[in-house]
Amino acid sequence: MTAPHISLTHFLIDEERAGRINADLRLLVEVVARACKRISIAVGKGALGGVLGDAGEAGQASINVQGEAQKKLDVLSNEILLEANAWGGHLAGLASEEMDTSQPIPDKYPQGNYLLLFDPLDGSSNIDVNISVGTIFSVLRCPEGVVSPTDADFLQPGTAQVAAGYCTYGPSTMLVLTVGSGTHAFTLDREVGSFVLTTRGMRIPEETKEFAVNMSNQRFWEAPMQAYVGDLLAGKEGPRGKDFNMRWVASMVADVHRILTRGGIFSYPLDSKCAAKGGKLRLMYEANPMSFLVEQAGGAASTGRQRMLEVQPNGLHQRVPVFLGSKAEVEVAVGYHLRHDAA
């Protein structure tokens, strides 16, 4: 007998019956997953879909709130997620990497109790070269009594997340999800059009010999990061006593997916180029959802100095340094920072 085929819908109904989620959260995850399927189809068409390249008029790139040039697919993915989530009655508000401020749900639709944050298409510098990109999302509760949420209502620490996930658009499209009881992976069956549970309870090995970092920034890093990576590179002959391998896709979703699958440490540390902004990656819709997924799979996530999920946010687009993955290795990296600060 073949293994039972459990669709995302089936999985979510089981979660609801077990009392781990309510019907609104089930609907929310289903709606996000449906939007991700549409994004997957657009990404998969590549040059044939006429969606590659920069957004905006010829010679006049469209710039988002981060000061970054938007790709056509960034804009399209954002629109797909907004449109899919506006009318279902499960949300009170939305926030996106591609929008300056959060948006309350329009008055013409019923209001729900949840807030949704997303990076509609992460790693978009990879779109035009046919390398994996992905969607990242985080779900919070709308504070009690708030009818029309503003940015301040979204500024909750990562520990307040009720669900988080990402969808990776690679050789296969996969949705990786947590609702606070483990991290589970679903693969899109393209013929049927449904996500099928392919790994229940992902576990990140505690130890690793693989690290992910943009090495070209080495000379801009802080001293503890220089020392940490220096010791990794010294391999068997160095203080770590083992050889390390390096991988860097430059799509956080793809790098984190590899780490959830076979272990490793991902880092985007503070460097002198991004120090004034606080880091490169965004807390609310990149670092926090990924940290929730990683912790739920037995890994760890830190800024290098503090557990990521305990950072008190001060802005929707706040940036942070990120270290996440195999627990023992994240602890080693944090140790370099704490010893440096204490000296």
Residues that bind Mg ion in the complex, under the rule CB under 5 A = 119, 122
Give yes or no for residue 252 binding ligand AHM (CB under 6 A): yes
Give yes or no for residue 132 binding ligand AHM (CB under 6 A): no
Which of Mg ion, ligand AHM, none lies near 134, with the C-beta cut-off 5 to 8 A by kind?
Answer: none
Tokens of 285: 């819709």
Our CB check for ligand AHM shows the closer of 61 and 250 to be 250
DSSP at 340: H
Query: β-strands 210-212, 184-189: how paired?
Result: unpaired
Which of ligand AHM, Mg ion, none lies near 16, with the C-beta cut-off 5 to 8 A by kind?
Answer: none
Give yes or no for residue 272 binding ligand AHM (CB under 6 A): no
Q: Which of residues 60-79 bind ligand AHM (CB under 6 A)?
A: 68
Question: How far is 206 from 325, CA to CA, in rounded Å?
Answer: 8
Q: Please, what is the minimum distance in Å from the beta carbon of residue 320 to ligand AHM?
A: 13
Which of Mg ion, ligand AHM, none lies near 153, with the C-beta cut-off 5 to 8 A by kind?
Answer: none
Please tell me the chain's helix, strand, coil percentages from 3-state DSSP, rounded to the nearest 5. Answer: 40, 25, 35
Q: Please, what is the minimum distance in Å from the beta carbon of residue 111 to ligand AHM?
A: 29
Tokens of 297: 């799979």
Which of ligand AHM, Mg ion, none lies near 205, with the C-beta cut-off 5 to 8 A by kind?
Answer: none
Residue of 40, 102, 178, 251 interacting with ligand AHM (CB under 6 A)? 251
Question: How far is 224 from 113, CA to CA, in rounded Å?
Answer: 42
Give yes or no for residue 250 binding ligand AHM (CB under 6 A): yes
Query: β-strands 184-189, 265-268: how paired?
Result: unpaired
Our CB check for ligand AHM shows the closer of 27 and 270 to be 270
**Which residue sits closest to ligand AHM, CB atoms considered?**
252
Full DSSP string of 33-69: HHHHHHHHHHHHHGGGGT--SB-EETTEE-B-TTS-B
How many residues sit close enough to ligand AHM to count as binding (CB under 6 A)? 12
Ramachandran quadrant class, 278 (left: phi over 0; alpha: psi -120 to 50; beta: rest): left
Tokens of 165: 């996930």
Residue of 123, 263, 321, 325 interacting with ligand AHM (CB under 6 A)? 123
Our CB check for ligand AHM shows the closer of 70 and 111 to be 70
Q: CB within 8 A of 289, min separation 6: which ones?
A: 117, 136, 137, 138, 158, 161, 164, 165, 166
Binding residues for ligand AHM (CB under 6 A): 68, 97, 119, 122-125, 214, 250-252, 268
